[in-house]
């Protein structure tokens, strides 16, 4: 699976391949105070049949404590090129954007009018220096059923917990699209014994969030994953603050949201307005798949039975609140939007990219029962509504989930509490990039947990990602696992493989 292009995109050697800057430009670069301004790499995202977003952010000193990456407090012109070939002989679009200090010198170029189902290459130039080259794709034309989607997804990348090898292994697979399902950064302060040292302490303000994002983008494995394919991102709690549910100050939320937008390849439609950012949206891959990206953080009701502390945790059968019919994890507006997306879908597959466990999960071993009030178990009415909608429109729904730092796969039924109830969707839960450290394939309590939750078919407790190949005939799923992340460069292996067929929400052994 290791392709030359994947290797090249991850290495600085491609940065000037095929391009010789004029002598005057090279001389200006030597004099320029902006030495090596592309240390945060390049990225693309939000593929559509006619375009996508390409992104970069200038930083000459990514770990500068003010979060501004060592950049001068003035606008800097940034040229960009988009070409059909990686040597930029066939440039199809080019232009100049202004990287402004108030946007942390980030640049989002939204492209339109491109060919559907095509591969493109892009790069930037500023202060006489050239960025590395990124590869990106447009989605197939609407209605196209012949083009499969190679989609990989992961979540939860805590810099202090280990090396970002999972990102490198994803890049080596050369996917069409990478979905990131939350916790791209962790806001935490410094650990006592980190695997890797972070800069800046706990993220509390704009400078802190910008600095954390910048440090992540200095990681060569993460940069390789951004440079190889377009991304589709959603956040979870740590992109703002651990387990937040509407209880974070508007000021802190606005700071986190602004830094998130600045550092992600998102469209203008996702630019935050104060403490609000509309992150839910759909990405369409011909008529093969719609990827509906959900936001279960911003609009959720407070945790059920959380007491005065309002904490997330495990709640027992005495917690009636989690079953209350008015409770929502999506908020009314997003739920109405999702209902319409599912009703009007013409794709073979409807993928729901989101943050927290959707299938029912009894986390207490033995006859006692306990559910997480942070996942959809704490918002049962929302899950029942979604399951009913999926069932009513006979959608082939596959839920893609992050958050729990381990791989899981299972089925969601129309009524989870009724064992005879018909399954309506499959859920694939990805493990983390690093969070929770090296892990184990199986923990001592895993067999008991699985025995108490018969709809759950698979578990693996290592770090990694999920790789899928989605066609109109089937969805193939490989759970990829790394032996370790506390040291660099672990190989990835497939710890579980499944096939899902349209019309039958079951995990068949592959
Ligand atoms: Fe996490």
Task: pLDDT band for 307, please (50, 70, 90 cuts).
Answer: confident
Ligand 1 centroid distance, CA of 489 (Å): 21
Ligand 1 centroid distance, CA of 436 (Å): 9
**Low-confidence winner among 19-28, 193-202, 355-364, 453-462 (lowest mean pLDDT):** 19-28
Task: pLDDT band for 421, please (50, 70, 90 cuts).
Answer: confident
Task: pLDDT band for 415, please (50, 70, 90 cuts).
Answer: confident
Ligand 1 centroid distance, CA of 371 (Å): 18
Ligand 1 centroid distance, CA of 238 (Å): 7
Task: pLDDT band for 420, please (50, 70, 90 cuts).
Answer: confident
Which segments of 351-465 does DSSP mark as H helices, in order? 380-392, 446-451
Ligand 1 centroid distance, CA of 240 (Å): 12
Ligand 1 centroid distance, CA of 174 (Å): 25
Average pLDDT, the chain: 93
Closest Cα to residue 486, out of 213, 193, 201? 193
Calpha distance 22→38 (Å, rounded): 19
User: What pLDDT does residue 222 have?
Assistant: 98
List % helix, strand, coil for the chain (3-state, nearest 5): 20, 30, 50
SS3 246: coil
Residue 23, pLDDT > 90, answer: no
Ligand 1 centroid distance, CA of 433 (Å): 9
Ligand 1 centroid distance, CA of 338 (Å): 25
User: What pLDDT does residue 15 have?
Assistant: 39
Mean pLDDT of 124-136: 97
Ligand 1 centroid distance, CA of 64 (Å): 26
Ligand 1 centroid distance, CA of 341 (Å): 28
SS3 507: strand
Task: With beta carbons less than 8 A apart as the criterion, state whether 212 and 203 touch.
Answer: yes
Task: pLDDT band for 7, please (50, 70, 90 cuts).
Answer: very low
Calpha distance 279→253 (Å, rounded): 14
User: What pLDDT does residue 121 have?
Assistant: 98
- pLDDT tens by residue, 237-252: 999 999 998 889 999 9
Ligand 1 centroid distance, CA of 157 (Å): 7
Residue 152, pLDDT > 70, answer: yes
Mean pLDDT of 215-231: 98
Ligand 1 centroid distance, CA of 93 (Å): 38
Ligand 1 centroid distance, CA of 405 (Å): 6
User: What pLDDT does residue 18 have?
Assistant: 40
Ligand 1 centroid distance, CA of 278 (Å): 21
User: What pLDDT does residue 131 have?
Assistant: 98
In order of start, what are the domains of the chain with their CATH numbers? 143-182+279-509 (3.60.21.70)
Residue 89, pLDDT > 70, answer: yes
Calpha distance 89→508 (Å, rounded): 46
- pLDDT tens by residue, 308-360: 777 899 999 999 999 999 999 999 999 999 999 999 999 999 999 999 999 99
Q: What percent of the chain has pLDDT over 90?
A: 89
User: What pLDDT does residue 19 have?
Assistant: 46
Calpha distance 258→118 (Å, rounded): 31
Mean pLDDT of 458-473: 98
Ligand 1 centroid distance, CA of 153 (Å): 14
Ligand 1 centroid distance, CA of 180 (Å): 12
Task: pLDDT band for 27, please (50, 70, 90 cuts).
Answer: low
Ligand 1 centroid distance, CA of 69 (Å): 26
Ligand 1 centroid distance, CA of 243 (Å): 10
Residue 5, pLDDT > 50, answer: no
User: What pLDDT does residue 32 have?
Assistant: 55
Looking only at the bridges linking them, the beta strands covering 51-57 and 106-110 are: antiparallel
Residue 20, pLDDT > 70, answer: no
């Amino acid at each position: 699976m290791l392709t030359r292009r994947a290797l090249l995109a991850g290495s600085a050697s491609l940065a000037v391949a095929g391009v010789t800057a004029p002598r005057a430009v090279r001389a200006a670069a030597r004099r320029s105070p902006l030495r090596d301004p592309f240390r945060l790499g390049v990225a693309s995202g939000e593929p559509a049949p006619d375009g996508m977003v390409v992104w970069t952010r200038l930083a000459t000193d990514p770990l500068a404590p003010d979060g501004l990456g060592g950049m001068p407090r003035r606008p800097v012109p940034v040229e960009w090129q988009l070409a059909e070939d990686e040597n930029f002989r066939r440039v199809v679009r080019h232009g100049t954007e202004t990287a402004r200090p108030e946007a942390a010198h980030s640049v989002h170029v939204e492209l339109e009018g491109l060919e559907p189902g095509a591969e493109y290459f892009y790069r930037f130039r500023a202060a006489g220096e050239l960025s590395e080259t990124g590869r990106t794709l447009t989605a197939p034309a609407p209605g196209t059923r012949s083009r499969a989607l190679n989609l990989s997804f992961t979540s939860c990348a805590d810099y202090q917990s280990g090396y970002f090898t999972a990102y490198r292994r994803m890049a080596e697979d050369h996917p069409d699209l990478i979905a990131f399902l939350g916790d791209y950064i962790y806001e935490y302060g410094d650990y006592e014994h980190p695997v890797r040292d972070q800069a800046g302490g706990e993220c509390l303000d704009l400078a802190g969030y910008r600095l954390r994002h910048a440090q992540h983008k200095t990681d060569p494995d993460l940069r390789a994953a951004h440079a190889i394919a377009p991304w589709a991102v959603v956040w979870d709690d740590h992109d703002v603050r651990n387990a937040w549910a509407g209880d974070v100050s508007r000021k802190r939320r606005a700071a986190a949201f602004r830094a998130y937008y600045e550092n992600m390849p998102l469209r203008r439609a996702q630019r935050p307005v104060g403490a609000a950012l509309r992150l839910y949206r759909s990405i369409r891959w011909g008529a093969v798949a719609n990827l509906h990206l959900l936001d279960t953080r911003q609009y959720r009701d407070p945790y059920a039975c959380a007491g005065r502390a309002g904490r997330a945790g495990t709640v027992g059968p005495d917690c009636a609140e989690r079953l209350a019919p008015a409770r929502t994890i999506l908020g009314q507006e997003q739920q109405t939007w999702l209902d319409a997306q599912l009703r009007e879908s013409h794709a073979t597959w409807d993928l729901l990219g989101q943050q927290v466990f959707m299938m029912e999960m009894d986390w207490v071993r033995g006859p006692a029962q306990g559910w997480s009030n942070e996942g959809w178990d704490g918002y049962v009415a929302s899950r029942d509504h979604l399951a009913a909608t999926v069932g009513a429109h006979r959608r082939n729904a596959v839920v893609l989930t992050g958050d729990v730092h381990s791989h899981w796969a299972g089925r969601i039924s129309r009524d989870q509490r009724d064992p005879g109830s018909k399954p309506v969707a499959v859920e694939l839960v990805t493990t983390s990039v690093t969070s929770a450290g090296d892990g184990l394939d199986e923990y001592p309590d895993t067999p008991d947990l699985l025995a108490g939750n018969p709809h759950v078919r698979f578990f693996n407790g290592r770090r990694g990602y999920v790789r899928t190949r989605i066609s109109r005939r089937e969805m193939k799923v490989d759970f990829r696992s790394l032996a370790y992340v506390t040291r660099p460069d672990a190989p990835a292996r497939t710890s579980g493989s499944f096939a899902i067929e349209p019309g039958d929400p079951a995990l068949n052994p592959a």
